[in-house]
């Protein structure tokens, strides 16, 4: 199980609290993501458990960034379960970037499912190199366990 998930780790490195390395990693991540088109509305669906106050559109119509275990990224509307990567057909997951105030950007993969009313909701998440876990309201930093804030929807390109 673990080996099959290893490849899904997004290419964002968490480094030990060594100032130089951390700064370099943070800058490279930010640089790579600068061109990203943001999708705040989409992510608020995920982050707030599907009950945003300012979004009228159903989640199915929100376009998100997806990433497969081989690092291919593409844009697709939110959907239940993994989607097949259009490049290699491997299972792809929704990718978003959170940020720890101390340790910088952290990649988070997610899988949507449907609630009892048939609405899409985020059901499982994978924070950096950690195992998949049930989605909750907290997104703890993998290094210090402090709550992270949502940072951005990453660009599909730059690979
Ligand atoms: Zn792929
Ligand atoms: Zn941290």
pLDDT, tens digit, 9 for 90 and up, residues 28-72: 444 434 333 334 444 555 555 544 444 456 778 889 999 999 999
125 C-alpha to ligand 1 centroid (Å): 19
State how many domains the chain has.
1
Domain range for 93: 2-152
Q: Which residues of 113-140 are buried (b: 16+ CB within 10 A; e: fewer)?
A: eeeeeeebbbbebbbbeeebeebeeebb
Report if residue 21 sits inside a domain: yes
Is the per-residue pLDDT at 13 higher than 70? no
Is the per-residue pLDDT at 88 higher than 60? yes
Is the per-residue pLDDT at 22 higher than 80? no
Mean confidence (pLDDT) of the chain: 75
Q: Is 118 helix (H, G, I), strand (E, B) or coil?
A: coil
pLDDT at residue 156, rounded to an integer: 59
94 C-alpha to ligand 1 centroid (Å): 13
Q: Residue 146 CA: which ligand is closest?
A: 2
CB-facing half-sphere around the CA of 138: CA atoms within 13 A? 7
pLDDT at residue 108, rounded to an integer: 96
Residues, CB-to-ion distance under 5 Å, ligand 1: 68, 70, 72, 85, 87-88, 90
Report if residue 20 sits inside a domain: yes
Report if residue 157 sits inside a domain: no
- CA dist 125 and 69 (Å) reads 15
Report if residue 158 sits inside a domain: no
Is the Cβ–Cβ distance between 98 and 110 less than 8 Å? no
pLDDT at residue 40, rounded to an integer: 44
Residues, CB-to-ion distance under 5 Å, ligand 2: 100, 102-103, 141, 143-144
Report if residue 74 sits inside a domain: yes
pLDDT at residue 48, rounded to an integer: 52
Per cent of the chain over pLDDT 90 is 50
**What's the Rg (C-alpha) of the chain?**
15
- CA dist 154 and 141 (Å) reads 18
pLDDT at residue 131, rounded to an integer: 95
pLDDT band at 15 (very low <50, low <70, confident <90, very high): very low
Report if residue 147 sits inside a domain: yes
Tokens of 124: 């499982």
Residues 86-101 have a mean pLDDT of 96
Q: Residue 88 CA: which ligand is closest?
A: 1
pLDDT band at 4 (very low <50, low <70, confident <90, very high): very low
Report if residue 29 sits inside a domain: yes
Report if residue 159 sits inside a domain: no
Query: The pTM is what?
Result: 0.64
């Amino acid at each position: 199980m673990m080996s099959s998930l290893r490849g899904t780790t997004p290419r964002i490195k968490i480094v030990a609290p060594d100032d130089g390395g951390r700064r370099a990693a943070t800058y490279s991540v930010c640089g790579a993501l600068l061109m990203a088109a943001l999708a705040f509305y989409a992510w608020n669906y995920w982050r707030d458990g599907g009950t945003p106050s300012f979004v009228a559109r159903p989640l199915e119509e929100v376009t998100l960034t997806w990433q497969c275990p081989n690092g291919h990224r593409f844009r697709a509307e939110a959907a239940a379960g993994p989607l097949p990567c259009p490049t290699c057909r491997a299972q792809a997951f929704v990718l978003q970037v959170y940020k720890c105030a101390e340790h910088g950007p952290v990649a988070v993969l997610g899988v949507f499912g449907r609630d009892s009313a048939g609405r899409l909701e985020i059901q499982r998440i994978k924070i950096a190199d950690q195992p998949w876990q049930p989605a909750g309201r907290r997104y703890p930093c993998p290094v210090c366990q402090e709550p992270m804030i949502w940072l951005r929807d990453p660009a599909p390109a730059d690979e």
